Amino acid sequence: MYGNKVVQVLRKMLLSFRPDVYEKIKSGLKIFEHRRNFPDEPIMAYMYVSSPVKAITGIVYLDKRHCLSDWLEEYKEDSNAIARIKEYMKTYHYRYAMEIAKFQETSKISLDDLRKNVPGFVAPQMYIYLDGTELLEYIESNLKMIDLQVEHSFERIEACQVCVH
């Protein structure tokens, strides 16, 4: 408790992204992160961007997890939304959409620097938890915040916002 507010301690992870997805998040175009599996809790994720970037270069704050199967019912009146949801479930095998509450641009920590300074570092295929690790200590000591921040509100989610690339 801090003052009158409950302060939530977020679990931290390193989450892998393709460069095109990173750019969509950074620009604010992408407001949901879709995954096959993901924990049902808010997360602070350091963004590892794959080749050709090969670096940690941002932070996303992921909030509520939505089940795509629930959206089939919720948006059943919108045939376009239903088609997109079914495509995401069938083609990509995604089951969840996490709200991207906030993006924070950061300096870069290259893959070479990570390998040199964190013994045994391997870039994650999906994600790895960082709490209590040497990797988290290294990231927090070396990553610097840059001015760019993007925030989203999810008070009302429109059918046109679900399952878009």
Domain assignment of residue 50, yes or no: yes
Domain assignment of residue 162, yes or no: no
Q: Which of 34, 35, 99, 88 is nearest to 63 (CA)?
A: 99
Type of residue found at 32: F
Domain count, the chain: 1
Give SS3 for 139: helix
State how far the Cα of 138 lies from the Cα of 144, in Å rounded to an integer: 12
pTM of the model: 0.91
Structural domain including 47 reads 11-152
pLDDT by 10s per residue, the chain, length 165: 445 556 678 999 999 999 999 999 999 999 999 999 999 999 999 999 999 999 999 999 999 999 999 999 999 999 999 999 999 999 999 999 999 999 999 999 999 999 999 999 999 999 999 999 999 999 999 999 999 999 999 999 999 999 997
